[in-house]
Each structure stands twice: as structure tokens, then as C-alpha cells.
């Protein structure tokens, strides 16, 4: 018997959760349920996180959480509970299988069977944003080695457990050489540990084009958070419908399972919604807690129901579908099919699909880190980079000399183009004049002097070399 936490959520949430729980209990799930309240009511009661502190205690104690979609109220101040839950509980891996159900659910891709493995905690989703000048705002993209190692290892372990043949990595490391570059590098390192699984890397733009045109070319695809967010919805949609996909959010301690769609408030309370997405989440949950036999019974009965043409309104098509069912009636049909297997669609046989145990991340020995210079970001309303250079050169010393100015990454001094459009946000790079290591005291000295010269420094970034390798981007055109 496993104790799990359940939240019925908002909108169509309660209806699809009731249907899902009814199906899995009828299939013999050995679970006990603690129900918690999250979402709109909690938000509107004045709790900006959408969840009460006592509910966290239950989630953390039970470690397994089945969550229906919730409505995040519009307007400022309300934090997305999904994002908060993923981060608080360290749910670093988001797993979203997207498989077509051709010919029973319309899709252009009859043979699609892709699993998107999305990094779930970092990247631009760290949510570290600042306005720095009148004209420029910034969002920090953070990619960490442990973050990359955990998600990429998860993708390979998942592929091995699920007997899949290939893991593909998507990044944009031709542009983001440090952040996406690290993700790609770690992918290449870890791939070597899995010689039994094919691996490949695609630049995300052409990879995304290929995925949406020829999804059969992919098997397991791993990527950083933002790309994964976008591509997992596309993959689910082209496999048939976002209403059919579930996802698992997996951490070292806890896991959360859900449908990928939202609370569809306009469909709420009408016995219309398709419970399949949440049911798919529940099937992943059953596998996770080792109740594989129940997961198989549910999934095969669900496939049989889809194959029988018993469809909710969202996937109902004249000619292919036999009967349009409501949420409750669809659940009844799946329950009636428990013990049956699909005839045309491939029945599932999960084998061992229980929670993956990954080795703990081991921090490597520190590398030799040397300060080579500093970028001073300046809020300046002038137009000519040459003029700014004259001003900034007043900060030059024997240890630190202005070597470059960029505007939104493009070199504008020395030898800029007059055509380059400039905002009020300038990066001024100071380095040791003969390329050697710069002393740390130079940074406060530069800042102090900038204040004396009435130069508005909005932030600094230190320029380091690790083991002798410069580890920062050059200016575009440098
Ligand atoms: P949505 O996914 O709720 O609905 C979009 C449309 O898809 C609906 O109007 C409906 O036509 C259809 N649809 C979605 N799920 C369906 C189902 N199970 N059966 C049949 N049709 C279905 O997206 P939205 O309208 O952008 O968002 C509504 C609310 O949901 C927002 O408050 C949003 O913040 C929230 N949301 C929550 C989650 C979550 O809790 N995980 C995810 C996404 C959106």
C-alpha cells in the first residue's frame, strides 16, 4: 500500500481526477489517498503561492503527488504553483511521452513515439530578472553542471530501462557557447557511459523543425528547460492532442504526476473533459511506485477504449469515432475494459518501470580559476561609442585597461559600424593590458572611480579563465 497526495485542482480538475481515481482503483491500485487543497481558492484566500504550509508537510511526507490542473489567477503577485512545486521539491526531470494512436485519434504522424525529457529547474526559469536601464531588461540564464548531469543521466537511464534505442540532445550551443555549450558537453561525456544507446546532438532550431516534420526520427529527446517547455507541447499536440498527454516530474526524493493541459475553465462542470491526460500521469505514477501490473491493466484498457471509438468530444471525429462520451461515461468504458488488451494498437508491457535510482552527483575537484578582467555594464544615454570610450578610458590603470565596448553583445568600439543600433545599455570590458591576471582590488577601484566620474554602472561580470581557458563570450564581431 502506498500513501499518495492528491489535489483535485480547479476547472475541469475535480471531474478528471474523480474519473482517474475511479479507473485506477478499479484496476486494483494499492494506494491510500491524502487530499489537499491547492489552486484558485487558496490563492484568493490570500495565499500568493496557491498552497497552505500544512499541505507541503503532507506532500513531503508522502513523496508521491498526483495533481489535477489548477487555475493561476490573472494579475500580479500570484506565483505559479507548478513552478514552485518543481523547484521546492527538486523535481529536476520532466518526462513527457508523446505517442500517436493512429488511426483512432487523428494525427499526421501515425508512427510517432517520442519521449521528451525536459530539464525542470534551471535555465531562464530561474526567474532572475532585472530592469537595468530605461531601455533594457535582463533575464539570467543559469545552467549548472549538476543540473546537466542529473537530467542527461536520467534520459539515458530512462532509455535503457524502457528499452529505447537513441537519446537526442537539443541545444543552441553555436550561439550560447557557455550555457548550452555546457549542456552539450555534459551530454557527450555521459553518452560515453552508455555505449548500448545511440546518441546524437541537434541544434535546436533545425532539430525542432525535424521533430515537427518527421517525429519518427526521434526516440528520447533531452533538452534544457525553455526548449523542453515549448517542444513538449508541440510534440504532444502533433501526436494527437494535448488533452491526451501526461507528464511526470521526478526528483531524488519526491515526484509529481499530472496532465499537461490546464484547467480549461470554460469546460468545467459539464462532464465534457477528457480525463486521458491525467490518467496517463497516473499510469506513470503507478509505474513509479512499482505497481507495474496495475499500470499495464489501466493502459491496455484505455488503449482498447480509444480503439473501440469511445471518445470524449475533443478527439471525436465523424467516421472514426463510434460514440461521444462524457468524462464519467468514458471512465466507465475504461473500467469495463479492464483486463482487455487493444487489438490493433500495441498493448503495453512495462517490464521493470519503477522509479530510477541515479547515483548522487559528485562535485569534481576545483579547477584553477584566474581573474582576467571585468565587464562593467553602463547606463549611458549618449549615442557615440567613441564618446563613451573617452569617458571610460578615464578609469584605465596599469592593471586594467578598456579593451572593448559592446551594445547588446555587438562590438561598437573600437572600430564599430555607424549602422549598429545602440540602446542605453553598454558593456565596457576592462582587462590587464598585457593579458595577464588582474588583481581583484581592481574591481572596487574601477567602481569607485566610476562613481567619481558620475558613470552609472548597473552591474559587473567578472571575466575568468578556468585551467587557463578563458570562460566568457567574446563580443560579436570581435
Ligand atoms: P487549457 O489547457 O486549460 O485549455 C485550453 C483548451 O484546451 C480548453 O479550452 C479546451 O478546449 C482544451 N482542453 C484542455 N484540456 C482538456 C481536456 N482534458 N479535455 C478536453 N479539452 C481540453 O489552457 P488555458 O486555457 O491556457 O489555461 C487555463 C488555466 O489553466 C489557466 O489558469 C492556466 O494558468 C492553467 N494551467 C494550469 C496548468 C497546470 O496546472 N499544470 C497547465 C497549464 C495551464
Ligand 1 mean position, distance from CA 291 (Å):
29
Ligand 1: which of 232, 260, 261, 325 to mutate, judged by most atoms within 8 Å of the beta carbon? 261
Core vs surface per residue 204-221: b (16+ CB within 10 A) or e: beebbeebeeebeebbbb
Residue by residue, what is the 3-state secondary structure of 207-272? Answer: HHHHHHHCHHHCCEEEECHHHHHHHHHHHHHHHCCHHHCEEEEECCCCEEEEECCCCCHHHCCCCC
408: left (phi over 0), alpha (psi -120 to 50) or beta: left
Ligand 1: which of 69, 279, 306, 315 to mutate, judged by most atoms within 8 Å of the beta carbon? 69
Same fold? 2-336, 369-470: no
Ligand 1 mean position, distance from CA 296 (Å):
27
Residue 434 CB partners (closer than 8 Å, separation 6+)? none
* pLDDT attached to residue 230: 94
Ligand 1 mean position, distance from CA 244 (Å):
12
Nearest CA to ligand 1 atom 26: 262
Nearest CA to ligand 1 atom 43: 262
Domains in the chain: boundaries: 2-336, 369-470
Nearest CA to ligand 1 atom 37: 262
Query: What's the CATH number for 369-470?
Result: 3.30.70.1570
* Among candidate residues 7, 15, 10, 14, the one with its CA nearest the CA of residue 71: 10
* pLDDT attached to residue 10: 95
Sign of the torsion formed by the C-alpha atoms of 260, 215, 90 and 287: positive
Ligand 1 mean position, distance from CA 313 (Å):
15
Query: Cβ of 360: how many Cβ atoms within 10 Å?
Result: 7
Q: What is the pLDDT along the chain (478 residues), one digit of tens a residue?
A: 999 999 999 999 999 999 999 999 999 999 999 999 999 888 888 888 889 889 999 999 999 999 999 988 877 677 788 888 888 899 999 999 999 999 999 889 999 999 999 999 999 988 899 999 999 999 999 999 999 999 999 999 999 999 999 999 999 999 999 999 999 999 999 999 999 999 999 999 999 999 999 999 999 999 999 999 999 999 999 998 778 999 999 999 999 999 999 999 999 999 999 999 999 999 999 999 999 999 999 999 999 999 999 999 999 999 899 999 999 999 999 999 999 999 999 999 998 888 998 999 999 999 999 999 999 999 999 989 999 999 999 999 999 999 999 999 999 999 989 899 999 999 999 999 988 999 999 999 999 999 999 999 999 999 999 999 999 998 777 7
* pLDDT attached to residue 475: 79
**Closest ligand 1 atom to Cα of 264:** 3
Nearest CA to ligand 1 atom 39: 69
Ligand 1 mean position, distance from CA 383 (Å):
47
* pLDDT attached to residue 294: 97
Cβ < 6 A, ligand 1 pocket: 12, 16, 69-72, 82, 243, 258, 261-267, 273-274, 277, 314
Query: Cβ of 161: how many Cβ atoms within 10 Å?
Result: 15
Nearest CA to ligand 1 atom 25: 264
Ligand 1 mean position, distance from CA 467 (Å):
49
Instruction: Report the C-alpha gap between 215 and 447 in whole angstroms.
Output: 52
Instruction: Report the C-alpha gap between 101 and 341 in whole angstroms.
Output: 14
**Closest ligand 1 atom to Cα of 265:** 28
Ligand 1 mean position, distance from CA 11 (Å):
9
**Closest ligand 1 atom to Cα of 274:** 19
Architecture of domain 2-336: 3-Layer(aba) Sandwich (3.40)
Nearest CA to ligand 1 atom 5: 264
Amino acid at each position: 500500500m502506498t500513501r499518495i497526495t492528491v489535489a483535485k485542482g480547479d476547472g475541469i480538475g475535480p471531474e478528471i481526477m474523480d474519473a482517474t481515481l475511479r479507473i485506477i482503483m478499479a484496476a486494483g491500485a494499492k494506494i491510500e489517498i491524502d487530499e489537499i487543497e491547492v489552486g484558485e481558492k487558496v490563492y484568493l484566500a490570500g495565499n500568493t503561492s496557491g498552497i497552505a504550509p500544512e499541505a507541503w508537510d503532507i506532500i513531503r511526507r508522502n513523496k508521491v503527488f498526483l495533481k489535477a490542473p489548477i487555475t493561476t489567477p490573472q494579475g500580479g503577485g500570484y506565483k505559479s504553483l507548478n513552478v514552485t512545486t518543481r523547484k521546492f521539491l527538486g523535481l529536476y526531470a520532466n518526462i513527457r511521452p508523446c505517442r500517436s494512436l493512429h488511426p483512432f485519434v487523428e494525427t499526421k504522424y501515425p508512427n510517432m513515439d517520442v519521449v521528451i525529457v525536459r530539464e525542470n529547474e534551471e535555465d531562464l526559469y530561474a526567474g532572475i530578472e532585472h530592469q537595468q536601464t530605461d531601455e533594457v531588461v535582463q533575464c539570467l540564464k543559469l545552467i549548472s553542471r549538476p543540473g546537466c548531469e542529473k537530467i542527461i543521466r536520467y534520459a539515458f537511464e530512462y532509455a535503457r530501462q524502457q528499452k529505447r534505442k537513441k537519446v537526442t540532445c537539443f541545444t543552441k550551443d553555436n550561439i550560447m557557447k557557455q550555457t548550452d555549450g555546457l549542456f552539450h558537453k555534459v551530454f557527450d561525456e555521459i553518452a560515453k557511459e552508455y555505449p548500448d544507446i545511440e546518441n546524437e546532438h541537434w541544434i535546436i532550431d533545425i532539430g525542432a523543425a525535424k521533430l515537427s516534420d518527421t517525429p519518427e526520427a526521434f526516440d528520447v529527446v533531452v533538452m534544457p528547460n525553455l526548449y523542453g517547455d515549448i517542444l513538449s507541447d508541440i510534440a504532444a499536440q502533433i501526436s494527437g492532442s494535448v488533452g491526451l498527454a501526461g507528464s511526470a516530474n521526478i526528483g531524488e526524493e519526491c515526484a509529481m504526476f499530472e496532465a499537461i493541459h490546464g484547467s480549461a475553465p470554460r469546460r468545467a462542470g459539464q462532464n465534457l473533459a477528457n480525463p486521458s491526460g491525467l490518467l496517463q500521469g497516473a499510469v506513470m505514477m503507478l509505474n513509479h511506485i512499482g505497481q507495474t501490473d496495475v499500470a499495464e491493466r489501466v493502459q491496455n484498457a484505455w488503449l482498447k477504449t480509444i480503439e473501440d471509438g469511445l471518445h470524449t468530444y475533443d478527439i471525436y471525429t465523424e467516421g472514426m469515432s463510434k460514440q461521444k462520451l462524457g468524462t464519467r461515461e468514458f471512465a466507465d468504458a475504461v473500467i469495463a475494459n479492464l483486463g482487455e488488451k487493444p487489438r490493433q494498437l500495441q498493448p503495453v508491457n512495462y517490464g521493470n518501470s519503477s522509479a530510477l535510482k541515479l547515483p548522487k552527483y559528485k562535485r569534481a575537484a576545483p579547477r584553477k580559476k584566474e581573474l582576467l578582467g571585468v565587464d562593467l555594464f553602463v547606463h549611458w544615454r549618449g549615442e557615440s561609442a567613441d564618446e563613451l570610450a573617452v569617458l571610460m578610458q578615464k578609469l584605465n590603470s596599469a592593471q586594467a585597461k578598456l579593451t572593448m565596448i559592446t551594445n547588446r553583445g555587438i562590438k561598437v568600439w573600437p572600430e564599430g559600424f555607424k549602422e549598429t543600433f545602440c540602446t542605453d545599455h553598454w558593456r565596457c570590458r576592462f582587462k590587464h593590458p598585457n593579458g595577464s591576471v588582474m588583481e581583484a582590488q581592481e574591481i572596487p577601484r574601477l567602481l569607485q572611480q566610476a562613481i567619481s566620474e558620475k558613470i552609472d554602472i548597473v552591474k559587473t561580470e567578472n571575466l575568468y579563465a578556468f585551467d587557463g581557458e578563458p570562460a566568457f563570450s567574446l563580443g560579436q564581431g570581435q
